[in-house]
Amino acid sequence: MSGKEILLAFRHTADFLFPGDPPKRRVAVLFVQHISDCFKGADSVGEKRVGRRARAVLTALLFDACIGDPPSRFHPVAWMGAWNSFILRRAPQGNDAVSLLYGVGATVAGVGLAWLSGIWLARQLRAWRCGWLVEGAILSLVLAWRGLMRAGGAVAEELEHGDLSAARRQLGRHLVSRDVSQLDEGLVAAATIESLAENTSDSVVAPLLWYGLGGLPAVLAYRFLNTADAQLGYRDPAREWLGKCAARLDDLANLLPSRLTALLIVGAAPFSGCSWRLARGTWRLDAGKAASPNAGHPMSAAAGALGVVLEKEGQYRLGEGLRAPTAGDIRRGQRLLSVGILLGLLTVSTAMFFSAGHAGFRRFRRSDSSCAPLDAAEQHFAEVRVDVGEIVVS
């Protein structure tokens, strides 16, 4: 059954349910038209694009959760990392201005290449009937939900077994780049929760948001920026000026995702056995304590939601006055962030849903209140008459 036939059938039902009430009938029909536009096919190119992206997002999360990442030689983020490593090896030394210009050129070139690759892929996949499935598989490669949760779980497992040295190794191998050799159990747990919260923003919420806004070109460009910042955005002599451009552009690209992640953590708290009030209060008080303009938002919200203090020695304490975290809090943090990701998925999908229906809403408002015939679909259902209490098919 086509999308128009589904819509016409529902119009007949709406006439029966809301006789003499055109506003309610319009709302009911519009709701089904939204669904039809997103998942059964839309009339305009824009609506088809939004419906395609909605399906690709669902596919990406399923691929990431069930399959995970391929080997590095087939992974686009690994290719981006190889490019940044090459840039670092060839970087000029001894002149800050030259290093800055070199870094700007390398970053712009990498972003441009990622953007153009996304455009080419999107055009190729648009011609395929199930291109959205492949697009979802590509999108899953720039997400890190499964890898992030597994890395946090590995640290928690070692702490639960009482092996602090192994927990430090897991933390340093998968989640943080700083020295972890002197961290006690509470600081290891705190660093793990901090990393999970920050990377939920960088590696899940932000890619989904940028994909929703700009498709494959936007999400690949964002992922390159984030990878470049992770490799080059340090304040040591070799990278202080080289990574300046990548770091500033990454800060700009994550302004909205980081705050959205904090909001999702607050929203997810009551569904995860946590306190949304404390999450909101800690977020408001402590978001600006971290050096990054973005990382403090999801970290402080997570600290409040879990009721623990997250400390990076010599730099910040988020949730001052709360207790030190334990391995159990890492598990709670995983649940909290997973629920937040699902809320994020619901938010993005809903935005796509109503965006796809916006053009349909305008078309519907221009139609007359009697629900005029819809081409051949009207003839298909012309023999269907709805009477009170029964349906008579002639």
Going residue by residue through the chain, which has 394 residues, state the pLDDT in tens, using 9 for 90 and above. Answer: 344 444 444 454 445 444 455 554 454 445 444 444 444 444 455 556 777 787 888 888 888 888 877 787 888 888 999 998 998 888 888 888 998 999 999 999 999 999 999 999 999 998 888 888 999 999 999 998 888 999 999 999 999 999 999 999 999 998 998 889 899 999 999 999 999 999 999 999 999 999 988 999 999 999 999 999 988 888 888 888 988 999 999 999 999 999 999 999 999 999 999 999 999 999 999 999 998 899 999 999 999 999 999 999 889 999 999 999 999 999 999 999 999 988 877 766 666 556 555 544 455 445 444 444 444 444 443 443 343 334 333 3
CA dihedral 142, 148, 150, 156 (to 10 degrees): 170
pTM: 0.77
Please report, as a single letter, which amino acid is at residue 268: A
**DSSP H helical segments within 71-144, as ranges?**
76-89, 96-126, 131-140
CA 82 to chain centre: 24
Q: What is the pLDDT of residue 334?
A: 95
Q: What is the pLDDT of residue 387?
A: 39
Q: What is the pLDDT of residue 368?
A: 44
> What contacts 192, CB < 8 A, 6 or more positions away?
152, 155, 156, 171, 175, 330, 333
Distance CA 48, CA 360 (A): 12
Distance CA 327, CA 304 (A): 17
Q: What is each CA distance from 310 to 124, 169, 193, 224, in whole angstroms?
A: 46, 19, 8, 29
Three-state DSSP string of 329-368: HHHHHHHHHHHHHHHHHHHHHHHHHHHHHHHHHHHHHHCC
In this structure, the number of other CB atoms found within 10 A of the CB of residue 243 comes to 29
The domain locations on the chain are: 3-393
Distance CA 350, CA 340 (A): 15
Which residue matches tokens 């996949």?
125
Q: What is the pLDDT of residue 270?
A: 94
Angle, vertex CA 256, rays to CA 111 and CA 272, nearest 5: 120
Encoded tokens for 308: 């623990």
